[in-house]
Structure 1
Amino acid sequence: MAVDDDLRQAKQPVSGALAGPYGHPFHPILVTVPIGAWVSSLVFDIASRIAGRPGFLTHGSAWLIAIGVLGALAAACVGFLDLVAIPSGTPAFRTGLVHMSLNLALTAAYAGGFAWRHADGYAAGRAVTPGQLALSAVCLAALGLSGHLGGKLAYRYGVRVADESVQAEGYRSRPPSPSS
């Protein structure tokens, strides 16, 4: 298969109904749920170490982690559909495998962190432990690395991004009106 054919294949959805139609993939919008939830959970974790009555922050952080895990699983499903559209053996496919593996490991780490908080009695009104705070911080840093890889897939390799001829439609000047 030629490079142009590989590139064209990576831009097309395996299933438009499941992964999003051409030019409108679902994966990028779904990843905002875990990213937002996990960033917010870290803010709550830090605040729980500072606040005089940290219980509501600790409780909220645990549930934000759970929301992030559920959102990550949804994003992973459609992300996997985007991955299988990329021809194997290419740098884009290898980047996609690393991106997926890192995100699955992060999701498992966050799920483990939620279980840890649950077993530790997160609703008892105490601040998160230093270990739980550290786990959230390390996971969020790794999430940044994974986001960089996702950006590389879209913005450098053009995975699920409309090809240049379609993009050019947004830059064509309108013809002058007959009245001018």
Structure 2
Amino acid sequence: MTSEQQLQAKQPVSAAMAGPYGHPFHPILVTVPIGAWVASLVFDIASHVVDDPAFLARGAMWLIAVGVLGALAAAVVGFLDLLAIPPGTPAMRTALVHMSLNLLVTCAYAGGFFWRHAAGAAGSVGAGMLALSAVSLAVLGVSGYLGGKLAYRYGVRVADEATQAEGYTGAPTGAGGG
């Protein structure tokens, strides 16, 4: 990747939609589906160890729904970040795999929501539903690794080194140093 391509990948396509330079919205928004889906798996597992599992099964189902909605919001701004990456680069290939895995996981969770909704939440979460959530979360972890690679290795939507250097120049201004 050339220096010009690196600078292109750092700039937002739309600062209003994707976040201003150095402050992308995508990393903020992905915390919603990640948190909701991790919590849903915890609820799934907990539904097997309590006397009245129905409330946990219902809670897991609605956490999955929250995660799907959050994933769709994260996908919109993530797609805008994707548009800033020059085609034919390792960063673009990584971004396409990252996006594909996220879409797969989101579809799996959406399907899991409808499966759960159709089955009702009378007892503990079934083994198939639990397995779907666990596998989906594992794939999400792989995708998250690739997202980290995009930001921390390839610098996609990360401020350039000259801008980052501002945090390391000058004397501290108080007890907090900033």
Provide the TM-score with structure 1 as the length reference: 0.94
Unaligned stretches of 5+ residues in structure 2: 173-178
Q: Which residue of 2 aligns with 1:178?
A: none
What's the CA shift for 1:49? 1.1
Is 1:42 paired with 2:41? yes
Match of 1:165 in 2: 162
In structure 2, C-alpha distance between the alignment counterparts of 1:52 and 1:132, rounded to whole Å = 20
Superposed counterparts of 1:30-179, under 5 Å: 30-122=29-121, 124=122, 126-174=123-171
Unaligned runs of 5+ in 1: 176-180
Q: For this pair of structures, how many residues does the alignment match?
A: 173
- Which amino acid in the other structure matches residue 27 of structure 2? P
Partners of 2:49 and 2:107 in 1: CA distance? 28
Amino acid in structure 2 at the alignment position of 1:144: G
SS at match of 1:50: coil
Report the secondary structure of 2:48's partner residue. helix
What amino acid is aligned across from residue 95 of structure 1 in structure 2? T
- Aligned residue type for 2:10: K
Query: Aligned partner of 1:138: which letter?
Result: V
Alpha-carbon distance, 1:52 to partner: 1.0
| Structure 1 residue matching 2:94: 3-state secondary structure | helix
1:130-167 C-alpha deviation (Å, 9 max, x unpaired): 00000000001111000000000000000000000000
Q: Give the alignment's TM-score, normalised by structure 2.
A: 0.95
Letter in 2 for 1:140: L
2:65 maps to amino acid = A
Equivalent residue of 2:4, what SS?
A: helix
- Structure 1 ranges of 4+ moved more than 4 A: none
CA distance in 2, matches of 1:127, 1:174: 58
Identity %: 73
Instruction: Compute the RMSD of aligned alpha carbons.
Output: 1.3
CA distance in structure 2 between the partners assigned to 1:4 and 1:84 by the alignment: 17
